[in-house]
Structure 1
Amino acid sequence: MGFAIAPLDKGHDRKQFTCGQPDLDDWFHRRAGQDDKRNIARAFVATDDELGVVGFYSLSSFTLSIEDLPEEVGRKLPRYDAIPAALIGRLARDVRVRGRGVGELLLVDAVRRILGAGRSVAVFAIVVDAKDAAAAAFYEGFGFRPFPLRPQRLFLLASTAAAAFERI
Structure 2
Amino acid sequence: MVKVKNLRIVTLLLLIASFVLVSGCVQRQYDISRSETPAPLFKNIAPREAHALMQDNQDNPGFIIIDVRTPQEFGAGYIEGAVNIDYYSETFKDQLDRLDKNKAYLVYCRTGRRSGIALGMAKDLGFKEVYNLSGGIVEWEAEGLPIADSGN
Q: Report the TM range for the smaller structure's normalisation.
A: under 0.3
TM normalised by structure 2 equals: 0.27
- Max radius of gyration: which structure? 2
Higher strand share: 1
Greater relative contact order (Cα < 8 A, sep 6+): 2
